Structure 1
Amino acid sequence: MSRCTPRANKDAIKVPAQQRIACQEDGLGKVIAFIFVVSMFLAFVQEVFESVMAWYRDTMAWLSETATYLAGFWPF
């Protein structure tokens, strides 16, 4: 069982103030860790998106240049 949750009846067990503060700090730490993990995931998604978009733009530029080069060989 967690040290933050009393075992039985809440009225029968008095939780010291220091333990309540420690429990609140544990909760705050979990929230901060969750925000950090979510922000790192979003940063990863952004990097992947930017990489794919750069690859797409470079591919389109290469295809355009290749088509222009090959069209130069047409006799018309």
Structure 2
Amino acid sequence: MKMTKRRMVWLIPNVFCYLMFVGVALFITIYFEGLQEINRLGIWLVAMILLLAVSVHGSYTILKWVREGKL
């Protein structure tokens, strides 16, 4: 597999994770009061933080692989 195709295979899911993060952040912003009323705000915030952590870690790993010439 060419390096360009290999990069795209890793970049597309990473970009999708960032889009999911934005979507969850918008969801939390829109339904903040309702989530607070049913005591689910904390769970959604933890999920959002974990999603951001996975996305940042994926970006860092991809960048490291590109610098090392593996990707």
Query: Which category of TM-score, normalised to the shorter sequence, fits these structures?
Result: 0.3 to 0.5
Bigger helix share: 2
What TM-score do you get using the length of structure 2 for normalisation? 0.45
* Larger relative contact order (Cα-Cα within 8 Å, sequence gap ≥ 6): 2
* TM-score with structure 1 setting the length: 0.43
